[in-house]
Every structure is written in structure tokens, then in C-alpha cells.
């Protein structure tokens, strides 16, 4: 299997590294020359609970330098870059290439379908965490899982094979007919926690400093779950609220990725998280006033950060 990773940042390097370590043929496709060059020179330094090691043997290239065809493509760009990234390697996607997005947010399936036939698209979510420490250096501690499904829910041997390969390298991966529940519950969690931390500068635990903070997080979760349910997905508010409470208690110092992006002067995934929830809420006629307010506030902070006006 020729496995290509499109977007070899924190998550792409973690997945690519684990796959290469177990003997799979992996190509990392990215636009970060520093990161790619460092991997070429010294391998990928991967720190996980299994140890701190260097993984060599992966091919690396920019999209325009890619050659050949991928059998499997794992998409791990930030959601705002997916369209451009897929366009730039479109030529290398054969009719048999299976493409999996485990990116956060909603709308990923629609983006993939602009470039591929629906039968080639697999969608899912992962709870594995990963951080970039520097060029060619990624850290991931703790455990996670991967749940995935073909877009049309049809059982295909090629999709089952991808799940088996990911599971075989220790990523706890399985096909799951209820994957949309997990996707929406993660979106609800992220819409609340990422958005609120991004706009306030709070760590996850600091959201609990005043009762109004934790209440607002819970209310946003309830809004998003209401949209999911009105859209026909049996997402579970209680499970998601328990995750929020657990994060506030256990991951107090964590800075969610949306806050990290603003602190680094980068655009956020607000459109594919809160923005997509709002678009879907309008379609099904569910009011989401708090999600809309938070979306507008994050957009404002993001605009000032991107214009260089505001060091967060
Ligand atoms: P990241 O920023 O570390 O990596 C994204 C990579 O995409 C970067 O290396 C960037 O250079 C590359 N890229 C950008 N434009 C590109 C293009 N046109 N062609 C090829 N590569 C391009 O992001 P990440 O943290 O790995 O997150 C990736 C996705 O996974 C996001 O949707 C995120 O929400 C999701 N996710 C992240 C985590 C986590 O813990 N980091 C967990 C679950 C899901």
C-alpha cells in the first residue's frame, strides 16, 4: 500500500511516523520546507508513550514535486487548507485511491467530494492528540482512538483494509456506523472550548474561574447537539457535557488549538467548526444565538491578529 499523508504537521507526522515504523510505504506531502528538509536529513523525531525515537525511510515532498499515485491518502491539513491541498495533488489521485479525513469540524466530506468520487471518500474522527515541537519533531502523549466510515456507509474491502492498517499500528481504529455521532459530539466540544478559549485567552481550566464561563460552554454544547439531532444525528448531550466537565477538571492548563493558532498569528478553524454549525442550524431552523455570538467574536479577534494589530 502506498500511503500518502497530505498535511504532515502534528497529526500527519504522528500517523505517518507510526505507519512507517511498522513497515508501511509512507509519503509525507506538505508545504513546510523546513519540516520536510529536517525529516529528510535526520528522520522524524516522534515522542509517544512508546518512547522517543527517530523514524527514517519516509518519502517527503511538496505537492508539486509528488510523483506516482497514492493507494490511500490521509488528509491532515487544517480544514481551511484542504481544498487548495487537494487541488495541488489532484493528478496523483487515481480512481482506486481511498481518501480519509480525520480532521476536526464539519464540511470535510463535502470538500473531499469536490475532488473525488463519493465512493473514494472515508470520513471519521480521532481523539489522538499531537503537538509539533519543532521541525521534524512531534509529540503525542496519552491514548486515543480512530473511528471511520465510508461516506455512503457501504462496506468496502478497501476501506476495511485502511481501518485494519491503522489499527495494526496501534491507533485503535475501527469502522463505526455511528461515526457521525462522534464527529458531531467532537464539534460540539470544540465549538465551545476552542471558541471560548480563543476569544478569552483562557486555558481550558480557566473557563471554570467564574460560573458564567462553564455555563456558557455548556449552553454552546447544548445548541450544537440540538442542531445535530435536528439534522438526524443522535448525538448525546450528556456524554459531551461530561467531556467538557472532565476537560475542565483534568486538562486545566491545556490551550486548545484555536487559541494556539491565534497566539502564533495563524488563521483558525472557526469556519469549519462554529461556522458550519451555524450554516446547518439555519438549514434545520434551530436557533444558536450563543454559537453565533462566539463565532463573530472569534472572527473579530482573528482579523486583528492576522492584520498584525493584535498580539493576543
Ligand atoms: P498542523 O498545523 O500541525 O498540520 C497541518 C499541516 O498541513 C502543516 O504541516 C501545514 O504545513 C500543512 N499544509 C498546509 N497547507 C498545505 C497544502 N496546501 N498542501 C500540503 N500541506 C499543507 O495541524 P494538526 O494539529 O496536525 O491538525 C490537522 C487536522 O487534524 C486539523 O483539522 C485538526 O483540527 C485535526 N486534529 C488535530 C488534533 C491534534 O491534537 N493536533 C487532534 C485531532 C484532530
- Are 162 and 196 within one domain? no
Nearest ligand 1 atom, CA 62: 20
| Average pLDDT for 140-145 | 96
- Are 144 and 36 within one domain? yes
Q: What pLDDT does residue 101 have? A: 98
Nearest ligand 1 atom, CA 131: 41
- Cα 264 to middle of ligand 1, angstroms: 14
| DSSP E strands, the chain | 2-6, 25-29, 44-48, 51-55, 59-61, 70-75, 93-101, 121-126, 131-134, 137-140, 146-150, 173-175
- Cα 279 to middle of ligand 1, angstroms: 23
- Cα 267 to middle of ligand 1, angstroms: 12
- Cα 241 to middle of ligand 1, angstroms: 26
Q: What pLDDT does residue 311 have? A: 65
**CATH number for the domain including 158?**
3.40.50.720
Is residue 13 in a domain?
yes
The owner of cell 480512481 is: 95
- Are 149 and 165 within one domain? yes
246-304 tens-digit pLDDT: 999 999 999 999 999 999 999 999 999 999 999 999 999 999 999 999 999 999 999 99
**Has residue 91 got a pLDDT over 90?**
no
Beta-sheet pairing, 146-150 with 121-126: antiparallel
**Has residue 34 got a pLDDT over 80?**
yes
The reported pTM is 0.97
- Are 46 and 12 within one domain? yes
Nearest ligand 1 atom, CA 81: 15
Give the count of domains, the chain. 2
- Are 48 and 86 within one domain? yes
- Are 155 and 227 within one domain? no
Q: What pLDDT does residue 273 have? A: 98
**Has residue 310 got a pLDDT over 80?**
no
* pLDDT over 70 percentage in the chain: 99
Domain limit, last residue, from 177, 195, 227: 177
- Are 79 and 207 within one domain? no
**Has residue 312 got a pLDDT over 60?**
no
- Are 155 and 209 within one domain? no
Nearest ligand 1 atom, CA 84: 18
- Are 17 and 134 within one domain? yes
CA 101 from centre of chain:
8
- Cα 24 to middle of ligand 1, angstroms: 21
Q: What pLDDT does residue 266 have? A: 96
- Are 172 and 44 within one domain? yes
Nearest ligand 1 atom, CA 8: 9
Judged by average pLDDT, the poorest of 52-61, 192-201, 301-310 is 301-310
Q: For atom 34 of ligand 1, which residue has the closest CA? A: 104
**Has residue 52 got a pLDDT over 90?**
yes
Q: For atom 40 of ligand 1, which residue has the closest CA? A: 129
Q: Which three cell numbers stand for residue 95?
A: 480512481
Q: What pLDDT does residue 309 have? A: 84
211-228 tens-digit pLDDT: 999 999 999 999 999 999
Is residue 312 in a domain?
no
Domain limit, last residue, from 177, 206, 239: 177
Cα separation of 62 and 172, whole Å?
A: 29
Domain limit, last residue, from 177, 193, 220: 177
Is residue 120 in a domain?
yes
Residues with CB under 6 A from ligand 1: 6-12, 29-32, 63, 76-79, 81, 84-85, 88, 103-104, 126, 129-130, 132, 257, 269
**Has residue 17 got a pLDDT over 80?**
yes
**Has residue 73 got a pLDDT over 90?**
yes
CA 287 from centre of chain:
26
| Residue range(s) defining the domain that contains residue 58 | 2-177
Q: What pLDDT does residue 250 have? A: 93
Longest CA–CA separation in the chain, Å: 56
Is residue 72 in a domain?
yes
**CATH number for the domain including 187?**
1.10.1040.10
Angle at 274 between CA 218 and CA 216, to 5 degrees: 20
Is residue 226 in a domain?
yes
Side-chain half-sphere exposure of 180, counting CA atoms within 13 A? 15
- Are 164 and 218 within one domain? no
Is residue 293 in a domain?
yes
- Are 274 and 156 within one domain? no
Amino acid at each position: 500500500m502506498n500511503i500518502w499523508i497530505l498535511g504532515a504537521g502534528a497529526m500527519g507526522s504522528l500517523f505517518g511516523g507510526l505507519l512507517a515504523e511498522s513497515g508501511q510505504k509512507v509519503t509525507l506531502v506538505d508545504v513546510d520546507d523546513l519540516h520536510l528538509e529536517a525529516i529528510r536529513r535526520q528522520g522524524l523525531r516522534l515522542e509517544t508513550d512508546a518512547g522517543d525515537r527517530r523514524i527514517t525511510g519516509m518519502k517527503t515532498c511538496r505537492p508539486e514535486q509528488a510523483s506516482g499515485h497514492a493507494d490511500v491518502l490521509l488528509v491532515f491539513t487544517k480544514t481551511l487548507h484542504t481544498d487548495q491541498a487537494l487541488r495541488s495533488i489532484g493528478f496523483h489521485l487515481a480512481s482506486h485511491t481511498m481518501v480519509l479525513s480525520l480532521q476536526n469540524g464539519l464540511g470535510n466530506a463535502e470538500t473531499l467530494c469536490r475532488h473525488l468520487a463519493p465512493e473514494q471518500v472515508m470520513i471519521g474522527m480521532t481523539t489522538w492528540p499531537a503537538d509539533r515541537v519543532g521541525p521534524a519533531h512531534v509529540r503525542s502523549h496519552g491514548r486515543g482512538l480512530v473511528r471511520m466510515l465510508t461516506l455512503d456507509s457501504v462496506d468496502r474491502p478497501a476501506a476495511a483494509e485502511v481501518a485494519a492498517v491503522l489499527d495494526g499500528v496501534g491507533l485503535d481504529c475501527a469502522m463505526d456506523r455511528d461515526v457521525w455521532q462522534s464527529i458531531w459530539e467532537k464539534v460540539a466540544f470544540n465549538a465551545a472550548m476552542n471558541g471560548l478559549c480563543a476569544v478569552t485567552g483562557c486555558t481550558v481550566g480557566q473557563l471554570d474561574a467564574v460560573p458564567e464561563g462553564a455555563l456558557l460552554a455548556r449552553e454552546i454544547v447544548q445548541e450544537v447537539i440540538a442542531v445535530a439531532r435536528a439534522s438526524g444525528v443522535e448525538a448525546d448531550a450528556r456524554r459531551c457535557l461530561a467531556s467538557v466537565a472532565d476537560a475542565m477538571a483534568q486538562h486545566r492548563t491545556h490551550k486548545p488549538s484555536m487559541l494556539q493558532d491565534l497566539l502564533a498569528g495563524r488563521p483558525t478553524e472557526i469556519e469549519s467548526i462554529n461556522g458550519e454549525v451555524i450554516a446547518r442550524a439555519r438549514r434545520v431552523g434551530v436557533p444558536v444565538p450563543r454559537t453565533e455570538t462566539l463565532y463573530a467574536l472569534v472572527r473579530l479577534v482573528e482579523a486583528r491578529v492576522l492584520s498584525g494589530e493584535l498580539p493576543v
